[in-house]
Structure 1
Amino acid sequence: MKRLSYDVLEEQGYEGYLLKEGPERVLQFGEGNFLRAFADYFIDIANEKAGFQGKVCIVQPISNGLSDAVNEQEGLCTIYLRGYENGEKVSRKRIISSINRAINPYEDYREFLKCAANPDLRYMISNTTEAGISFDGTNKYEDTPPDNFPAKLTRFLHERYLIFGEEKGKGFVILSCELIDHNGDELKRCVKEYIKLWGLEEGFLSWLERENTFCSTMVDRIVTGYPASEISDLEKENGYEDRLIDTGEIFAIWVIEGPEWLREELPFEKAGLPVIVCEDCSPYKNRKVRILNGVQTGMVLASYLSGYNIARYCLDDPVIMGYMERMVYEEIIPALDLPEEEKLSFAKETFERLANPFIDHKLLAISLNTTSKWKARDLPSVKSFYEKFGKLPSNLVFSFAAYLAFYHCSRLDDGHMVGLRGEEEYFVNDDREVLEFFMEHKDDTVPQLVQAVCSNEKMWGEDLTKLGDFALMAEVYLNRIYEVGMHAAMEMLSS
């Protein structure tokens, strides 16, 4: 079977949209599944629907990567987006032609720097993992290349400045997609640290500030990647081999903190794409964290101890689904300060995403580091609800009791706590300090355990025993879980 290429598609009589040639307008640090099914997909749609007419040049961020595969397929890759949309099961296939080529700077550093001379280059996109945006003082200007991403970026920006000098319009719009708060601001801070470390000229620093726009962004799309279990059937159906075939969910949103002029210059909105350019990402991030992440963290441990292993199957259980709906619609949404229609629309999309029949999210995988997740995702909703209504939200407090039940284990084994679901053992994965704390309290009675955990200010940033009757409610629910079982205790919440 032939590898995917423009010639193969021509031989097949492919009639879908393709942009075979165009100027490289985007430099992208990262060639992984997420960016191909997210940013490169968006750019492909903008090329077709809004006349963006731009190609992407990928820079491989680490020494081992997919540059060869990208170039062997002339930048082409097949994307499948699948899930529920407005209650309907949907599967969409698109061949992405927005990528032009990939460069491995560890093998051809000169070609990487040569891109700085391209007058059409205007945008930079990065997704180099959460650890990618950091400052490492061991990186040097003369490294070929520096290992650190912000160091590579600084060296490239300086090359641009050396080529074009003070000429206006030759700076970049830099869109950071790493999953950290204020990612664009943090990336800019690291670049300025390298300018200082390397003793680069004041004129370059002035040009950086004047001609370049570092945008913090929030990205959201579950990308499930290479469909190994389906690949034979998909390649047979397509009639070509594709080493970069990628899968993800239908839902997506890209919120970009940027100036108003960016909405016109970067025509995502014109193309009908779910991209929002605004002054502050915080409301959108808060909506995602409170509703989507909040209900996911709030249901996962109770669902696992009720006998389930995969997230989407939990939504077929009327008891668990009712618990989740009450949590979202009666507790999280009423305490969230956003437009009502926007909250309800996002909640509807949340349940469609969680029920996606193409994604098997393992509950134990989602349970990783629940302590910090519950603190960031669910505790703020508990406090907001209490402040607004003068009472505590029962379903969210129950999720805390489920957390206590899940973490109340008997032994440590090779860095994991071991718990029991019936006769079946399971591992609890969290920070070492959390696991050691629970081990210290493994023989506590229910009142002792609740008191110890709730009053652990290092864990929660505050003493939860002072939050109204929170500790008392958690104790009642935990006793009930032990008396009647998790599923029955959850069902009693609705009565």
Structure 2
Amino acid sequence: MKTPVIQFGTSRFLQAHADLFLSEGTPAMAVTVVQTSGDPARAGRLAALAAPEGYPVRVRGRQDGRVIDETRRVTSVKRCLSMAVQYDEVRRVFVEEAEYVLSNTGDSGYDGRPEDREPDFLPAMSFPAKLYHLLAARHAAGAVPLTILPMELIADNGKVLRGLVGALARANGASADLIRYIEEETVWASSLVDRIVSAPIEPAGAVAEPYALWAIERTPGLVAPTQHPSIQLVDDLKEIETLKLHILNLGHTALVDMWQRHGAPADAVVRAFIAVPVVEAELAAIFEHEVLPAFVALGRKDEAKAYLATTMERFANPFLDHKLSDIAQNHRQKVERRIEAFIHLARDAGYGADMPRLSAIADRSQAI
């Protein structure tokens, strides 16, 4: 079977997100999954992902006021390869079969490495360097350009990845025709992904919340790989990023501040902590009196109210143990991006009311 989707990354997030959507969507899409890390401990996962019967994704949580607890089966993954030991086959699939490229290679996947300067492919190269060599092979074979859909949690990830691959092409002395093929003819689409995937199912599969989003920014030549309720084509990803960053993520960071002040247990989880009356009241006050009024000034009242309602359902997920100690990592940087940036955004929009609770969180984070 030909696989029009080639996916770099084997994480449980991808298993319960893109691979599930490609299995359920119209049309259903076949996927080749490529392991980029070379970790031999994941060999069992690779075999299980491509099992003919598929693998399970258990969806558990609240949605639209009701409790969801159901198991779905993912059958989109038809082949699994290791880039470290099966590069020739990876290259063949990339050149002969692929129409779409998905990637979720981790926080450091885009970081340059010394091996990137070598003229021939090496498994230790960064993901952009590996992608450059694959695109060069596709161009040399005369294959039509494809669509690249990065899913790493990097703002403007499509534009960033295109810039990195284009720079590597120039550094490697690529022809003007190959550079044009990479930078102008290949479709690079930025995307934003959101779903809490809380636990693995061995040897393949995962447990995930009902909420799921794969937002893809429209760009010339883009056609979505499939139609699915969780896949949205949008004109500007920043509109969704603003809601996520300054409601869901802001709420998480505000809860960490309360957790630090109220002497809650070290292993406290979000769903239990927001049920504490004093915490519930303080979080409600932040959203009602400071966050939502600022979104009104931004002209996004209805969107913000709807997104907040969904966020509170996600916070209260009875099946999800989302530890505040995990959210608390890099707290100061998160306050800067989620809270202080929101205060500045509101001020720039002409919102003049005080934000005493959010301002206090910012002040306390600077003192830590």
Q: How many Å separate the matches in 2 of 1:300 and 1:360?
A: 15
Aligned residues: percent identity? 25
**What residue identity is the alignment partner of 1:356?**
N
The equivalent of 2:60 in structure 1 is: 82
Aligned to 2:125: 147
Give the counterpart letter for 1:349 in structure 2. T
Given the alignment, which residue of 202, 209, 217 partners 1:257? 217
Per-residue CA deviations over 1:390-411 (Å, capped at 9, x if unaligned) read 3321221343355467x3xxxx
Work out whether residues 183 and 217 of structure 1, in 8 Å CA contact, stay in contact via their aligned partners in 2.
yes
| Number of aligned positions between the proteins | 358
- 1-side partners of 2:347 and 2:131: how far apart? 46
Q: Is the 8 A contact 1:109 1:144 kept in 2?
A: no
Aligned residue among 274, 278, 301 for 2:234: 278
Between the aligned partners of 1:25 and 1:216, the Cα distance in structure 2 is 19
Q: Secondary structure at the match of 2:278?
A: helix
Residue type matched to 1:395 in 2?
R
- Per the TM alignment, residue 260 of structure 1 is displaced from its structure 2 partner at its CA by 6.6
1:160 maps onto 2:148 in alignment: no
State the distance in 1 between where 2:269 and 2:95 align.
Answer: 50
The aligned counterpart of 2:101 is 124
8 Å contact from structure 1 (residues 300, 311) kept in 2 = no
**Pairing 1:104-115 to 2, within 5 Å after superposition:** 104-115=82-93
The residue number in structure 1 matching 2:273 is 314
Distance in 2 separating the partners of 1:332 and 1:217: 25
- Please list the CA deviations of residues 184-219 of structure 1 after superposition, one character each: whole Å capped at 9, or x if unmatched: 111111111221122122211122234311111111
Distance change >3 Å, CA 97–CA 383, structure 1 → 2: same
* Corresponding residue of 1:180: 154
SS in 1 for 2:271: helix
1:247 maps to 2:198: no
1:71 matches 2:47: yes
CA contact (8 A) 1:60 1:105 kept: yes
* Distance (Å, rounded) in 2 between the aligned partners of 1:60 and 1:289: 30
Larger radius of gyration between Structure 1 and Structure 2 = 1
SS at match of 1:100: strand
- The secondary structure found in structure 1 opposite 2:343 is helix
Normalising by the residue count of structure 1, what TM-score does the alignment of the two structures yield?
0.68
User: Within the alignment, does 1:329 sit opposite 2:288 as a pair?
Assistant: yes
Shift of 1:69: 2.6
Distance, in Å, in 2 between the alignment partners of 1:225 and 1:149 is: 26
Letter in 1 for 2:292: I
User: Once the 2 structures are TM-superposed, how far is the Cα of residue 67 of structure 1 from its aligned partner?
Assistant: 4.4
Structure 2: 5+ residue runs without aligned partners? none
Give the number of the structure with larger relative contact order, counting CA–CA contacts within 8 Å between residues 6 or more apart: 2
Q: 1:289 aligns with which of 237, 245, 248?
A: 245
CA 384–150 in structure 1, closer or farther in 2 if over 3 Å, else same: closer
> Is the alpha carbon distance of 1:74 and 1:382 closer, same or farther for their aligned partners in structure 2, counting shifts above 3 Å?
closer
Matched with 2:173 is 199
Q: Secondary structure at the match of 2:57?
A: strand
C-alpha displacement of 1:68: 4.1
CA contact (8 A) 2:4 2:29 kept: yes
Residue 6 of structure 2 corresponds to which residue in structure 1?
27
